[in-house]
Every structure is written in C-alpha cells, then in structure tokens.
Copies of this chain bind each other. A is one copy, B any other.
Amino acid sequence: MTRKTHHVPAEGVETTFRVRYAETDGQGIVYSSHYLVWFEIGRTEWCRRAGIDYRKLEEEGYLLVVTEATCRYLSPARYDDEVVVRTRLASGNRRQLQFDYDLRLLTTGKRIATGATTHLWLDRAGKPIVLPTELRRLFEV
C-alpha cells in the first residue's frame, strides 16, 4: 500500500515563474548558473504534485543531493520573461534519482533550455542511504 495520493503525469509537471533582473548578467541575458536553480524550482513542484513535502523529508533525515547536472542553453531568457519549466522523473531507484527538464518561454512557446540532474539520497552525516519502500514508491517512474 502506497501513501502516494497525487498523480504525476508521465510527461511531467509544469510550473511558471518570471525571470528576475538579478538573474541577468552584463550580456543582458540570464546567466548560466541560474538555470540550475530553475531546475530546483521544477523539482520542488514535481514533489509537491506527487504528494511529497521535500522539506519534511529533510527534517526526517532524507537529503537529496545533486551528483550531476547538465544544461543545454538553446535560446536566451531575459528579464521579466515568463518561463515554464516542465520536470519529469526520468529514473529512480532506492538510492538514486534522475530528473530531466524542458524550459520554454510562456508567451511564444520557444524552447530555451533542456537539462538533467542526477541525485543521491544521503543522511544528515552525508552517508548514502537506501530509501524505505514507502518513500521509494513516491519516486517511482
């Protein structure tokens, strides 16, 4: 029996936000590192939609760390653009997860970036852990 109460569509979860001026750089476009923060926004919403409160998971001692991140920058994003990030759980087992991301401008639908992150579950001491079955089911593809 799983405590998963929400349905996460296989094609992923979408969330929208506006580009902050702070995220632009001297080239007038968003600086590369912020896309990794936007991936985090996507993951947080994926979790929420899946009925997972990630903040609570951390309080219970399950920490999801990033072990690899990759981003392909296809077209620039600018201040005040509305960006839609679609987040999909690509794979998951008791030890690791992989999410992938697809970012588009809301108004034009133009794809601006794609990316992926891989993650490992650690305890507070930084040791890899095996997720209990009940939790593991929440991160099933």
Contacts and interface: CB of A to CB of B under 8 A. Distances in A.
Contacts of A33: 22, 33-37
A6 interface: no
| Interface of A (DSSP majority class) | mixed
B58 A26 contact: yes
Interface stretch (A59-67, A90-98, A100-108, A133-141): A59-67
Chain A interface residue bracket vs B: 35 or more
A72 interface: yes
Given A21-B40, A26-B58, 10 more contacts: A18-B44, A20-B40, A20-B44, A26-B26, A27-B58, A33-B33, A44-B80, A55-B78, A55-B79, A65-B76
